[in-house]
Amino acid sequence: MEQKALTQKVIVLGVDGFDPKLAKKFMDQGKMPALKEFTIKGSAREDLVLLGAMPTVTPPLWTTLATGAYPGTHGITCFFASDPVNIDTMYYNLDSRKSKAEPLWNVFAEETGKKTLVWHWPGSSWPPTSESPNLHVVDGTQPSGINNGIPFLDLLKVVTGSEKIADSEYLPNTSHVAPGQGCIIDNAADLMDEGGEAETSVFRKVIAAGNNAKGFQFSITEEEECEIEALGSMVCDTIKSAIKSAEGWAQAPDGAKEFVFFVSNGLERRPALIVKNEQGIYDSVQFYKSKKEITPYLTLKRGEIRFDVSDTVKNDEGEDVACNRNYQLLDLADDGSKFNIIINNAAQVGRDDYFHPKSLYQEVVENIGNVPVNFRVNGSNEILVRETMIPSWEHYCNWQAKCLTYFMENNQYDIIFSHLHNLDGVGHYFWHYACNQEEWKENNEISYQQFQEDVYCQTDRYLSKFLPFLDQGWTMIITSDHGLITQEYHGVILGEIHGVNVPVLAELGYTVMVKDENGNDTKEIDWTKTRAIAIRGDHIYINLKGRNPHGIVDPADKYELETQIISDLYSYRDPRSGRRAISVAVRNRDAVHFGMSGQECGDIIYFTEEGFNKIHADSLSTQCGYADTSVSPIFVAAGPGIKENCVTERVIRQVDVVPTIAAITGVRMPAQCEGAPVYQIITE
């Protein structure tokens, strides 16, 4: 099915985690003027809603947005894939080779000769699946940022200096600052005295492992192992620095104070000076590699962040490896007696691993700048969210907008599929704090609701950079994979994407753990007694004879067992609130209604009840959360081929996005496409 092209140029402005409910709220309040402008110049539903597919997880849904096929069809059915035989084993799913559906970008590149760019699209884009020279791809291959799948050379450093500290100390791999604590500044030194807690979060490890990750198994048995808790503490190296009078310097200003800090995984010690201004107030810090140097490699004023500092990290041979990282002088006392500095993860410069063709990396770096590295700071600390995390994403948004508009200005591409991760990136760190919970004693939900507004305004500034191109023949589709929910009822362990969700199915008697000598559960599943496991976001697998190596359930009993599990899930009540925690549970066959049946899906598919949904992944795509949040994705289209100022009542499904783009550009539908063009918004 092909028709006359109504436009020659299309850019998909994908924003991960962009929720139409919050967007409409802020747009109606006049806080998202660019989005408003897009709706006036284009088409959307009144509520801006796109009916999302499920599971409400990033890789499945960006794959749906690329192929027009449901997850059950393209086969990417959660952040990780389950092994169909060893049902507790999972594999990384950000891998295009796992998708069974054709992406629209291949059609453009191979059959229409259109120059096509896929820019950090976390759903079956890497490695490129077409050899056409018309297809260029840039990736992560991790949703949070370009190149984030490449291991960092050096971990984030928190440097806390004080004249009260006698000797400088370096504490590697410290995990500290629990939710609710107001400020890192006051407690960092105390926490260090207690000794650092080594980072052991499997969630972080598997997410960071990238597409080289081998199969892994993990049983989630307690709250600390859940995503929200795992991300609740910050992983960093902590440095306790003694502040002294400057001595032995080739050149140090009068009255300067000195301290040392450590980089390169502790192998490299560097000196720094705290310097007074003309009024005698200590207001800046100068960073050096050696006291013999005359000029610092970096000077920071109080409160200043410097992004993309050209720096070096020592490798095991003692050689300098070029990297870029961010520095922030978070605070500094007027008398120079104490300070806090954050030095971000170091990313190696020159890594073109995820740029195809590789020359694209050089072009981006030369014309726009190094790929930014975001501060990975703690979402439970309001100061760090406001002063560090959100500004860091502002920098990333600006860099990305500059890259894409540079390509658009230079007519380098006809078709661009782009994705931005600012909302989802911060959402996983703090969206849940926008609802007060007893266990996070001091989280101030009003502050976090303000942060939600701040990042929506940030997204609007990003979108505004593309508005001028509407008059230059570009058609634009603003869309997302899912929204983000602020959870109301916390504590039921179901729907975690990174392992076997043990507690509820254990309580119901389906999952049994091996006991230790004291009769307590270990982390190991007892396959001789386990009839079913809940694994990944929404899947339950029966431990079936003949299919699974330790299967104990006779295939003849499978149907009845499924009936019983579904019945028990509906009867399950959250012990804290007394409420039903499951919204829907169905057999694999029936889950076709949700686009989630077939061999890549569990024997039972379930979704948690509204209120219990955490950030995203375990919810029906129509569910809403606390603080006006919803998990629904968004859809707004504008430009040639799209009606102006058009409000449609048509239910627009996520699988309809690809056919709509195909229809207005006059290309054929991708092979596995299950959607239909949104005829109602297309110009005659």
> Contact positions toward other proteins, by CB under 8 A?
167, 169-173, 260, 262, 264-269, 290, 314, 316-319
Least distance to other proteins from the beta carbon of 160, Å?
Answer: 16
| Residue with Cβ nearer other proteins (269 or 547) | 269
Look at residues 448, 434, 437 and name the one whose alpha carbon lies nearest to residue 485: 434
Amino acid at 610: E
Residue 389 DSSP code: I
Distance CA 346, CA 190 (A): 26
Q: Could you give the angle at the alpha carbon of 266 between the alpha carbons of 284 and 209, nearest 5°?
A: 105
CB of 311 to other proteins, least distance (A): 15
CA distance 61 to 56: 7
Minimum distance from CB of 272 to other proteins (Å)? 14
- Could you tell me the smallest distance in angstroms from the CB atom of residue 673 to other proteins? 50
Amino acid at 551: G
Closest separation in Å from C-beta 247 to other proteins:
11
The answer to whether 530 and 511 have CB atoms below 8 angstroms apart is: yes
DSSP designation for 283: E
Instruction: Give the shortest CB-181-to-other proteins separation in angstroms.
Output: 24
Complex with other proteins: residue 80 or 170, whichever CB lies closer: 170
Burial 43-73 (b: 16+ CB within 10 A, else e): bbbeebbbbbbbbbbbbbbbbbbbbbbbbbb
Smaller CB separation from other proteins, 264 or 597: 264
Q: How far is CA 625 from CA 55, 144, 269, 304, 621, in A?
A: 17, 23, 47, 36, 11
Q: Which is nearer to other proteins, 318 or 549 (CB)?
A: 318
Residues 6 or more apart in contact with residue 315 via CB below 8 angstroms: 321
* DSSP SS3 for 448: helix
Based on C-alpha coordinates, what's the Rg of the chain? Answer: 26
Nearer to other proteins, 240 or 653 (CB): 240
Two tokens at 44? 């959307």
Our CB check for other proteins shows the closer of 168 and 632 to be 168
CB 318 to other proteins: min, Å:
3
Of 617, 380, 630, residue with least CA distance to 488: 630
Q: Are strands 320-332 and 305-314 parallel, antiparallel or unpaired?
A: antiparallel
Could you count the other beta carbons within 10 Å of the beta carbon of residue 660?
26
Comparison of 186 and 193: residue with beta carbon closer to other proteins: 193
The label of the residue with tokens 């059950």 reads: 72
| Shortest Å distance, C-beta 262 to other proteins | 8
CB of 155: closest distance to other proteins in angstroms?
Answer: 9
Cβ closer to other proteins: 172 or 296? 172
Looking at beta carbons only, is 204 or 531 nearer to other proteins?
Answer: 204
Q: Amino acid identity of 420?
A: L
Q: CB 268 → other proteins: shortest distance, Å?
A: 5
Give the shortest CB-623-to-other proteins separation in angstroms: 44
Shortest distance, position 297 Cβ to other proteins, whole Å: 15
What does DSSP say about strands 415-420 and 116-119: parallel, antiparallel, or unpaired?
parallel
Residue 169 or 331: the one with the smaller Cβ distance to other proteins is 169
Give which of 283, 315, 312, 313 is closest to 299, Cα–Cα: 283
CB of 576 to other proteins, least distance (A): 39
Question: Least distance (Å) from other proteins to the CB of residue 175?
Answer: 14
* 626 and 487 Cβ atoms separated by less than 8 Å: yes
Closer to other proteins at the Cβ: 167 or 254? Answer: 167
Nearer of residues 162 and 174 to other proteins, judged by Cβ: 174
H-state helical runs in 267-326: none
DSSP string, 351-377: --TTEESTHHHHHHHHHT-SPP-----
For other proteins, the closer CB: 260 or 627: 260
Q: What is the DSSP string of 548-583?
A: STT--B-GGGHHHHHHHHHHHHHH-B-TTT--B-EE
Q: Which residues contact 163 (CB under 8 A, 6 or more apart)?
A: 242, 243, 244, 337, 338
Q: What are phi and psi of 361, to 5 degrees?
A: -60, -50
Nearer residue to other proteins within complex by CB, 318 or 578:
318
Q: Which helix (H) or strand (E) holds 173?
A: strand 169-176
Q: Which CB atom, from 89 or from 173, has the smaller least distance to other proteins?
A: 173
Q: What are the tokens at 161? A: 């200096």
CB of 171 vs other proteins, minimal distance in Å = 7
Residue among 379, 98, 101, 350 at smallest CA distance from 234: 379
